A and B are shown apart, each in its own frame.
Chain A
């Protein structure tokens, strides 16, 4: 087990090297220049040249890459081109709200999806199933910018229950933090819940046909116990897979939701940096999200082994 984990963590290195080289190449291929983007229309050629030299952007591509890489190796992510902020701090301060939003959205999603999925499976093709499927379809089809704006209009302009946007750090104001978190988490959770509910329903239907469920019923267990204890437990493996992927996507940034709710997450940071051709920031965000994705996959595999003792990691 320990060897397996060590191996997977070591495998991160070539993955990240590959990712960083490809992203470094791609961002340099995109037309537009970070110095021109920063100095705008007012700068003369001399100022542009001076800043390019200061940022070492006039060096050959490979040399820039190697320089960046060797700095990363000693833990120096450098400073952003726009605003000269330390990149590591920039990414970390964006990652925290992203992680909070991701976890809250997942919680909302699971709270909606698992009960409705189970109920839909129990009453397959009945009115309850149809209703649940219809709602799930709506959740999947509603674009998050639209649902988000709708929630703002409904729950903060007309009925002022929640703040309409912004971010409050949990340490500064725990209650305010949760209130600011509510609408974006609901928006994202609704979209995620649809997929999770469909998955729960499908797996549950299969599990309910299994022999051990018949055995459980035959030994006289109440239906509630059969479904929620024996059957549900066996649906968790595909659910964990799905949730692992969803969490990875959420941490990679949910630009639209972050934009609508002015949530200072990693998605908006990345997109802004791409538009500004802010190479060091783009590189760092891609590196960090790629690493998170790989680590989450590893966590998912470990979770399998914990949930199902028959699975061995090697």
Chain B
């Protein structure tokens, strides 16, 4: 018995000893210039070639520097490189001299080419491959100069390079870190990764070799994932956090009245929309789709669900892309009689049973409920089916739905919001919609360089889409973020934080 008792005591004693022995992450020592940022969820990966989630947007530009820089009003500026458009299919890039990655590896044309080759290699499985378009070859022409040649003109290319596809990582670190690169990423951005403990903290430290001299002015950035929106805001109020993302629309008015807290909001780049299944069921008939759209009052959702943040959507081009957005474009408004008439034309005399599929997020469920109550008043019998977020993409791809939410986080070029959704073989054409007209318009818009000319093509496509309604557009969500009053920072339409420009007062 004595031995057992001693064993037991040792066993019991080993638990706290065990916990003391693990030094998790870095200390959360507060220095004068540490910025604590509350985010909804951890990023999945820090490797820009593999990023595919919404949660990486906030973090990515702080660790990685793209070849080109996007200004708050979506203009392209030189970043790590300057670009010269030689002809519609040839781009020449000149990298800045004397730059290195976080690990000291030189940023030269060979490193850039290695990045492109990696993203374009099918074996990498990188989502960047599709975004980069019809690249023919990347050629190194001088130590700091390289040329990208296309098989066909691809107008969105520069906007794409100001995003994930343009973020250069250290080829040396890719080799030495292997699978660990996803968590330790070595890039050329304003901050380098110090430590990352999942679900606890991602700590970044100022990178002295950042190309914009004198920046950043903040020494440390700590991203803290806090899933609950109430708790995230409580942490901002208590001073634990100085900046929070994902402020819920219903909190904007209240926060705006609080001293020491600044709320920023602006229209985002994406859209919240639902895809009709045009391949089977009631919505295979365009008249039934149009009828459903006519039962919806966009202003009700704007008021009841979004508390007047953002704007009602009528098409895929958000107001933030000013050169392509048409504020007068409002093809549909509430018309219950019109809806009933269309349904009668389509041969439906009894209420048409349809199902709306949404994920179990409170916001999307509320939207589905509003749509349900409105459509039921004008000739539909709507069921709501809730699924989990991970099943959503599978449900969409298998077209296992009548009407299913398919929101998009958006891109700074209209091509990124339209080509994949509305061309006949587009990977996000969940509606299964086959329009030669729109496919042709969107393909042509890729090859035209003149912006005004492109805007005309996108608007024509938008009109054609509204006539046949493969998707039900609901809302342009606003990017809503809040900070303490003493943080000086700029909000971007894409919701990304570029903290090299932020200052703590």
In the complex, which of the residues B23, B182, B183, B390 contacts A277, with contact meaning CB atoms closer than 8 Å? B390
Evaluate whether A165 and B240 lie within 8 angstroms (CB atoms) in the complex, with A36-B397, A54-B125, A276-B390 already known. Answer: yes
CA gap between A163 and B106 in the complex, in Å: 43
CA gap between A160 and B239 in the complex, in Å: 10
In the complex, which of the residues B5, B18, B228, B393 contacts A37, with contact meaning CB atoms closer than 8 Å? B393
Q: A152–B125 contact, CB under 8 A?
A: no
Any B CB within 8 A of the CB of A38: yes
Q: B198–A84 contact, CB under 8 A?
A: no
CB-CB nearest in chain A for B124:
A50
Of the listed stretches A12-20, A64-72, A215-223, A256-264, name the one at the interface; the rest are far from the partner chain. A256-264
Q: A264–B199 contact, CB under 8 A?
A: yes
CA gap between A163 and B28 in the complex, in Å: 12
Nearest chain B CB to A235 CB, angstrom units: 20
Q: B24–A96 contact, CB under 8 A?
A: yes
Q: A170–B130 contact, CB under 8 A?
A: no
Q: B52–A152 contact, CB under 8 A?
A: no
In the complex, which of the residues B18, B226, B238 contacts A99, with contact meaning CB atoms closer than 8 Å? B18
Any A CB within 8 A of the CB of B328: no
1/0 contact string of B20-35 vs chain A (CB within 8 Å): 1111111111000000
Interface residues in A42-75 by Cβ distance below 8 A to B read 42-48, 50-51, 54
Q: A32–B23 contact, CB under 8 A?
A: no
1/0 contact string of B197-233 vs chain A (CB within 8 Å): 1111100000000000000000000001111101100
Of the listed stretches B8-16, B150-158, B316-324, B464-472, name the one at the interface; the rest are far from the partner chain. B8-16
Any B CB within 8 A of the CB of A126: no
Q: A44–B129 contact, CB under 8 A?
A: yes
Residue in A33, A44, A46, A166 with the greatest tally of chain B CB atoms within 10 Å: A166
CA gap between A42 and B45 in the complex, in Å: 15
Residues of B in contact (CB 8 Å), total: 67
In the complex, which of the residues A40, A45, A79 contacts B53, with contact meaning CB atoms closer than 8 Å? A40
Q: What residues on A are CB-neighbors of B45 within 8 Å? A: 82-84
CA gap between A165 and B8 in the complex, in Å: 34
CB-CB nearest in chain B for A295:
B11
CA gap between A85 and B125 in the complex, in Å: 18
Any A CB within 8 A of the CB of B436: no
Any B CB within 8 A of the CB of A167: yes
Q: A164–B240 contact, CB under 8 A?
A: yes
Tally A-B pairs: CB < 8 A: 202
Any A CB within 8 A of the CB of B86: no
In the complex, which of the residues B1, B234, B237 contacts A149, with contact meaning CB atoms closer than 8 Å? B234
Any B CB within 8 A of the CB of A6: no
Residues of A in contact (CB 8 Å), total: 72
CA gap between A248 and B356 in the complex, in Å: 41
Q: B391–A269 contact, CB under 8 A?
A: no
Any A CB within 8 A of the CB of B331: no
Interface residues in B419-436 by Cβ distance below 8 A to A read 427-428
CB-CB nearest in chain B for A167:
B200
CA gap between A83 and B180 in the complex, in Å: 8
Nearest chain A CB to B267 CB, angstrom units: 20
Q: What residues on B are CB-neighbors of A299 within 8 Å? A: 8, 11-12
Nearest chain B CB to A35 CB, angstrom units: 8
CA gap between A50 and B129 in the complex, in Å: 12
CB-CB nearest in chain A for B235:
A164
CB-CB nearest in chain B for A41:
B428
In the complex, which of the residues A32, A43, A83, A305 contacts B127, with contact meaning CB atoms closer than 8 Å? A43
1/0 contact string of A226-268 vs chain B (CB within 8 Å): 0000000000000000000000000000000001111011001
Nearest chain A CB to B132 CB, angstrom units: 12
Nearest chain A CB to B227 CB, angstrom units: 5
Q: A32–B16 contact, CB under 8 A?
A: no
Evaluate whether A83 and B125 lie within 8 angstroms (CB atoms) in the complex, with A42-B131, A103-B16, A170-B20 already known. Answer: no
Q: What residues on A are CB-neighbors of B224 within 8 Å? A: 165-166, 262
CB-CB nearest in chain B for A55:
B125
Q: A38–B25 contact, CB under 8 A?
A: no
Residue in A41, A94, A165, A170 with the greatest tally of chain B CB atoms within 10 Å: A41
Q: B198–A269 contact, CB under 8 A?
A: yes
Q: What residues on B are CB-neighbors of A171 within 8 Å? A: 20-23
CB-CB nearest in chain A for B15:
A99
Q: A1–B19 contact, CB under 8 A?
A: no
Any A CB within 8 A of the CB of B481: no
Chain A interface, >50% SS class: helix
Q: What residues on B are CB-neighbors of A156 within 8 Å? A: 234, 238, 240
CB-CB nearest in chain B for A43:
B127
Any A CB within 8 A of the CB of B123: yes
Q: What residues on A are CB-neighbors of B129 within 8 Å? A: 44, 46-47
Q: What residues on B are CB-neighbors of A305 within 8 Å? A: 1, 4
Nearest chain A CB to B413 CB, angstrom units: 14
In the complex, which of the residues B12, B52, B198 contacts A39, with contact meaning CB atoms closer than 8 Å? B52
1/0 contact string of A147-179 vs chain B (CB within 8 Å): 011001100110010011111111111001000
Any B CB within 8 A of the CB of A90: yes
Q: What residues on A are CB-neighbors of B23 within 8 Å? A: 169, 171-172
Nearest chain B CB to A290 CB, angstrom units: 18
Q: A96–B225 contact, CB under 8 A?
A: no
Q: A262–B226 contact, CB under 8 A?
A: yes
Any B CB within 8 A of the CB of A130: no
Q: B4–A93 contact, CB under 8 A?
A: no
Nearest chain B CB to A179 CB, angstrom units: 11
Nearest chain A CB to B192 CB, angstrom units: 18
Residue in B19, B20, B227 with the greatest tally of chain A CB atoms within 10 Å: B19
Residue in B180, B198, B201, B239 with the greatest tally of chain A CB atoms within 10 Å: B198
CA gap between A165 and B180 in the complex, in Å: 28
1/0 contact string of A85-96 vs chain B (CB within 8 Å): 100001011101
Q: B179–A38 contact, CB under 8 A?
A: no
Q: B388–A32 contact, CB under 8 A?
A: yes
CA gap between A145 and B18 in the complex, in Å: 29
Q: What residues on A are CB-neighbors of B12 within 8 Å? A: 299
Q: What residues on B are CB-neighbors of A93 within 8 Å? A: 22, 24, 197-198
Nearest chain B CB to A50 CB, angstrom units: 4
Q: A169–B25 contact, CB under 8 A?
A: yes
Q: What residues on A are CB-neighbors of B234 within 8 Å? A: 149, 152-153, 156-157, 164
CA gap between A296 and B492 in the complex, in Å: 52
CB-CB nearest in chain B for A269:
B199
Any B CB within 8 A of the CB of A272: yes
Q: B198–A260 contact, CB under 8 A?
A: no
CA gap between A152 and B408 in the complex, in Å: 34
Q: What residues on B are CB-neighbors of A44 within 8 Å? A: 127, 129-130, 427
CA gap between A31 and B25 in the complex, in Å: 35
Any A CB within 8 A of the CB of B174: no
Residue in B52, B126, B224 with the greatest tally of chain A CB atoms within 10 Å: B52
Q: A103-B15, A166-B224, A169-B27 given; name 9 further pairs at CB < 8 Å.
A: A1-B4, A33-B394, A40-B52, A42-B127, A164-B238, A165-B240, A171-B21, A262-B226, A265-B199
User: 4 closest Cβ contacts across the A-B interface?
Assistant: A40-B52, A264-B200, A42-B127, A51-B125
Instruction: List 13 A-B pairs, Cβ < 8 Å.
Output: A1-B4, A46-B122, A48-B125, A83-B44, A148-B231, A165-B240, A168-B27, A168-B28, A169-B22, A172-B24, A260-B231, A275-B389, A276-B390
User: Footprint of A on B, CB under 8 Å?
Assistant: 1, 4-5, 8, 11-12, 15-16, 18-29, 44-45, 50, 52-53, 122-127, 129-131, 179-180, 182-183, 197-201, 224-228, 230-231, 234-235, 237-240, 388-391, 393-395, 397, 408, 427-428
